């Protein structure tokens, strides 16, 4: 098993060296692609030093060193990866010693497997991050994982919350996902560069629909998410607004892929609800009217259910 590890790096001077070293200790890793994304700190200099120190470390940037966000940055890594398998790692996270053990077993046991996913743990780096993490109902022992192996045919419906026939629970992170490079390129699935948040969620959902993804090690962490004051999940308002964009992207993608109407309407409704929920209470009704005017699919599927939802948002 020969793996390319893609590490997008933006303002990660304090973390990126540990991320790289955690990947270097795995014999399966044959190249590490550092994609520097126009950082404002000295991340670029550290990446250059890591490239000089380790011959499997490669360094890439966008044209003129500009910042394009995590989606475009990971896509640049995918285009330049050369190994048979691709794995991802955020620059402020790190791999554990068992990162690829289960993957090798699954890919050998299931030749039809296009990708394998597993669990990640959490490590607190400061009090601000810890407080925000625990405010979400988690603690330092929380694993981001599924509660049991998921049938690949059910994974898309489960992850998107469209349908859950077997009481699956949880989700997985990009840090614990390994995919065959050829199948990824053939599927033409990419990270949505228009989104600053949730591009990884959309990427995993679309991969779950188009490819055969198997559950790997779901009870022990393959990577550690480092929680700190600069984590994006702390900024709740941005997250709420981003979720509405995420569901709009998924709705438009389901239309393009000609999925069944029930999938299209599911994402359409989710987009509507999150768009309204992301607005301030005093302008929710104006946001509703704006959405009816500018989005044809919302307008054509106007319902009393939508109106009741808006009224609850305004008067609750």
DSSP result, 171-214: ---GGGEEEEHHHHHHHT----TT-SSSHHHHHHHHHHHHS-EE
Residue 292 has pLDDT above 70, yes or no: no
Q: What is the pLDDT of residue 161?
A: 92
* Minimum mean pLDDT range among 54-58, 162-166, 286-290: 286-290
pLDDT averaged over every residue in the chain: 88
In tens, the pLDDT along 147-164 reads 999 999 999 999 999 998
Taking only Cα atoms into account, the Rg of the chain, rounded to an integer number of angstroms, comes to 20
* β strands within 96-138, DSSP E: 115-117, 119-124
Domains annotated for the chain, with CATH where assigned, are 3-234 (3.90.550.10), 237-315 (no CATH)
Q: What are the pLDDT digits (tens) for 230-265?
A: 777 665 556 677 888 999 999 999 999 999 889 998
CA gap 9, 247 in Å, rounded = 26
- At 125 the pLDDT is 86
Please give the Cα distance from 291 to 95 (Å, whole number): 43
């Amino acid at each position: 098993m020969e793996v390319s590890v893609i590490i997008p790096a933006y303002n990660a001077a304090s973390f990126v060296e540990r991320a790289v070293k955690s990947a270097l200790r795995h014999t399966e890793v044959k190249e590490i692609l550092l994609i520097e994304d126009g950082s404002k700190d000295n991340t670029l200099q550290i990446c250059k030093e890591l490239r000089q120190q380790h011959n499997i470390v490669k360094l890439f940037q966008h044209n003129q060193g500009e910042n394009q966000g995590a989606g475009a940055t990971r896509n640049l890594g995918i285009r330049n990866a050369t190994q048979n398998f691709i794995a991802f790692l955020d620059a402020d996270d790190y791999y554990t010693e068992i990162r690829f053990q289960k993957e090798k077993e699954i890919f050998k046991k299931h030749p039809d497997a296009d990708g394998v996913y597993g669990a990640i743990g959490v490590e607190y780096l400061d009090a601000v991050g810890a407080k925000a993490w625990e405010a979400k109902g988690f603690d330092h022992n929380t694993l981001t994982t599924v509660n049991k192996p998921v049938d690949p045919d059910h994974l898309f419906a489960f992850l998107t919350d469209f349908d859950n026939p077997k009481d699956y629970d949880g989700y997985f992170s990009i840090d614990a996902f390994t995919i065959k490079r050829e199948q990824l390129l053939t599927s033409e699935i990419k990270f949505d560069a228009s989104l600053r948040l949730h591009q990884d969620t959309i990427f995993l959902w679309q991969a779950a629909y188009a490819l055969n993804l198997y559950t790997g090690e779901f009870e022990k962490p393959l990577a550690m998410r480092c929680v700190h004051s600069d984590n994006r999940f702390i900024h709740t308002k941005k997250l709420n607004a981003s979720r509405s964009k995420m569901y709009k992207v998924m709705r438009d993608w389901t239309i393009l892929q000609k999925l069944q109407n029930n999938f299209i309407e599911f994402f359409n409704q989710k987009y509507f609800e999150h768009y309204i929920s992301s607005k301030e209470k005093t302008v929710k009704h104006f946001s509703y009217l704006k959405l009816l005017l500018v989005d044809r699919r919302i307008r054509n599927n106007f319902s009393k259910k939508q109106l009741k939802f808006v009224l609850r948002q305004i008067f609750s």
